[in-house]
Amino acid sequence: MVTVGSGLKVKIRSSAFLLGTLIFLLFCPSVIQSQKTSSVKAEIDTAQIKIGEQIQYKITVETDSLNLVYFPEDQTFSPLEMVEALTVDTTKNKDRITLQRIYALTQFDSGSYVIPQQRIAINEEPFLTDSFQIAVADVVVDTTKQKLYDIKPLVKVDRSYAKVWKWLIGILLGLLIIGGVLYWFFFRPKPLTEEEKVALLPPYDRALLQLKELENSRYLIQDEYKKYYSELTHIVRAYLEEEVHISAMESTTDQLIGRLELLKDAGELKLEDDTLNQFKKVLQTADLVKFAKSKPAVSIAEDDRKSVEFVVIKTKEALPEPVEEELLQNEEYLAELERKRKRKRIWTAAAVLAGLIILGIGTSTAILGVQEVKDTVLRHPTKRLLEGEWVSSSYGYPPIDIETPEVLKRKELGEFNPADSIQSAQLFGITNYDGMFTASVSATTFSNGKPVDFEKSVEEVLRSLESKGAKNLIAKNEEAYTKSGVQGLKTYGSYQMKAPESNKSIRTKYAVFLFGGTGFQQQIILTWMDGDTYAERIVQRITASIDVKTQA
């Protein structure tokens, strides 16, 4: 029994071994094949360049045509700078493809640099290229022909007023347009209409002109006697009211004739009885036409018009000549009328201008919001900084490239502590007291040749804030990157501080950016008032513009 069992176990183990071997042999080619599925290779056209020259960095990928390949993007070649990334060149051979991409790299500082390994992802599986050692040589300068001079001192740059001039020109054009509109519609001497020309004539001339127009009218031809006599009596009554100064428009025929007879008897109006009787007859005929629908002959209607014209002429002759006093009063009256018309035009223009201003403010408020319009009108200090002319420049050594609302001015530094091993230091900054915004940049080199201690630097910055009165200070740390991919440290947070010339405590935000390496440090410090949206946008723009050199 034992022997048989042992033999059976041996046979089972042998079968299992053979089965495992068979499975391994079946899958081994696939494993080997999978390992040979993709290959990545990187090469450069040269390992030595002069400052500013370019290196052609080529990555070649060979893989299955169905695989997805991701090449490096952006500034991943630091400390070298990527100038250009050419499009991917694809070559297909059956179910295999070969992809090639060339990157143009350069460096503007002499020295020895290493192009780091680049990560290529094939179906999310990472492949790393080789690293390359690059030598960047100085451009040889013939000092026998080209003299060397000392570094020139900083020159104060005058502030550019280009944007201010644009604002002034825009405001001036707006005022000219508004002034032109007001002049054209309100102050321009407009041509008089026919009605206005007639209204400006003296009463006697106006009455004769209107009677002439009535003669040429088509009332009688169109059998419109009521309109004819209504206009006829209106002309003569208006004339008598203006020239004789009696209430003629609202008087009945008998009342009007009675007033004229009283003036005649008093010697103030020298009219004959026949003239008055003739005029009374015309008025009575007009009353019959208007109220009794009488219809006289056309010849009688024409004679009545001539009779009214005769009454107007005789009345003009019967009136006494105006004395000098009356003429002066009339001139004063006309002058007062002209002043009233001018005042009316001015008030109308002012109302239109006020309406345009209110409409503009209302439209701007609806589109931009109340706060934006208020800050624009009152010229918010940090809003002026944000919308001003920004300046991009390099500061210190090793240089810090940064964009700021104004040129950073050099600050004087005191004597250095020998224990700090500081070889040189430069500080630049601006302070906007109205907006409580500050920005400073410093570059420091050390003689000890040791890597910079970011934590120690942050502690010094925080102690400096506390020494200036900062309380309840909150600090957070995170990694920071320049626009070219250089890594550093960002410390940010907030603190309480008394406002200048006030006991009011305000919340202030800050951000500290630290970069550097062996023997040098670059530092950017920004502070602004909490809740200031314009300052937040300034900080974002400054942060996005920061770039530093990686070697001293």
Residue 7, CA distances (Å) to 4, 11, 178, 179 in order: 5, 6, 115, 118
On whether both 446 and 508 belong to a single domain, the answer is: yes
Distance (Å, rounded) from C-alpha 176 to C-alpha 39?
A: 72
Q: How many residues does the chain have?
A: 552
Q: Are 102 and 231 members of one domain?
A: no
Other residues' Cβ atoms within 10 Å of the Cβ of residue 478: 8
pLDDT band at 511 (very low <50, low <70, confident <90, very high): very high
Contact by Cβ (8 Å): 226, 289? yes
Looking at the predicted structure, is the pLDDT value of residue 25 above 60?
no
Which of residues 295, 320, 345 is at a domain's end?
A: 320
Verify that 265 and 329 share a domain, yes or no. no
Distance, CA of 149 to CA of 66 (rounded, Å): 62
Answer with the residue of higher pLDDT: 493 or 367.
493
The per-residue pLDDT for 372 is 63
Average pLDDT, the chain: 80
286 neighbors 252 (Cβ within 8 angstroms): no
Q: Is the pLDDT reported for residue 538 higher than 50?
A: yes
Within 10 Å of residue 77's Cβ, how many Cβ atoms? 21
Q: Report the distance separating Cα 119 and Cα 129, nearest Å.
A: 7
* Residue 230 resides in a domain: yes
Q: Indicate whether 444 and 529 sit together in one domain.
A: yes
Both structure tokens of 86: 């050419």
Answer yes or no: do 123 and 209 share one domain.
no
Count Cβ atoms within 10 A of the Cβ of residue 475 and give its class: 0-12 exposed, 13-18 middle, 19 or more buried.
middle
Listed residue (36, 167, 43, 177) closest to 105, CA to CA = 43
From residue 18, give the alpha-carbon distance in Å to each of 6, 23, 27: 18, 9, 14
CATH code (residue 121): 2.60.40.10
Both tokens assigned to 263: 């003036």
pLDDT in tens, 268-311: 887 888 888 888 999 999 999 988 888 889 899 999 999 999 98
- The domain boundary, picked from 320, 340, 359, lies at 320
Q: What's the pLDDT at 21?
A: 45
Residues 331, 293, single domain; the answer is no
Q: What range defines the domain where residue 342 resides? A: 324-378
Here the tokens at position 522 are: 């670059």
Contact 248, 240 (CB under 8 A): yes
461-499 tens-digit pLDDT: 888 888 888 888 888 999 888 888 888 899 999 998 887
Average pLDDT of the residues in 191-220: 82
Count of H helices and E strands in the chain?
13, 21
Residue 540 has pLDDT above 70, yes or no: yes
Q: What DSSP letter does each residue of 492-537 carry, written as one string? A: EEEEEEEPTTS--EEEEEEEEEEEEEBTEEEEEEEEEETT-HHHHH
Would you state the pLDDT for residue 460? 87
User: What are the tens digits of pLDDT across the range 77-106?
Assistant: 888 888 888 888 888 888 899 999 999 999
Q: Are residues 303 and 408 in the same domain?
A: no
Is residue 114 assigned to a domain?
Answer: yes
What letter does residue 419 receive in the DSSP assignment? Answer: G
Place 35 in a pLDDT band, splitting at 50, 70 and 90. very low
- pLDDT value at residue 196: 67
Q: pLDDT tens digits for 112-127?
A: 888 989 989 998 888 9
Residues 122 and 218 in one domain: no
Same domain assignment for residues 297 and 205: yes
Say which residues have a Cβ less than 8 Å from residue 543's Cβ, sequence separation at least 6: 511, 513, 526
Rounded Cα gap, residues 118 and 57, in angstroms:
11
Question: Based on the domain organization, do 444 and 515 belong to the same domain?
Answer: yes
pLDDT of residue 13: 47
Q: Within this chain, do residues 94 and 198 fall inside the same structural domain, yes or no?
A: no
Q: State which of 150-154, 184-188, 411-415, 491-495 shows the largest mean pLDDT.
A: 491-495
Which pLDDT score is estimated for 466? 87
Residue 169 lies inside a defined structural domain of this protein: no
Helix (H, G, I), strand (E, B) or coil at 540: helix
Confidence band of 72 (pLDDT split at 50, 70, 90): confident
CATH code for position 407:
3.40.1000
The confidence band for 383, taking pLDDT boundaries of 50, 70 and 90, is confident
The dihedral over CA atoms of 524, 529, 531, 533, expressed in degrees to the nearest 10, equals -60
How does DSSP classify residue 418? G
Q: Which of 137, 156, 177 is the last residue of a domain?
A: 137
308-350 pLDDT per residue, tens: 999 888 888 877 665 556 556 566 766 776 788 778 878 877 7
| Number of domains making up the chain | 4
Question: Is the C-alpha dihedral spanning 340, 342, 347, 351 positive or negative?
Answer: positive
Determine the Cα angle at 453 with ends 449 and 459, to 5°: 140
Which has the higher per-residue pLDDT, 146 or 442? 442
Contact status, residue 481 vs residue 488, Cβ threshold 8 Å: yes
Query: Are residues 403 and 337 both part of a single domain?
Result: no
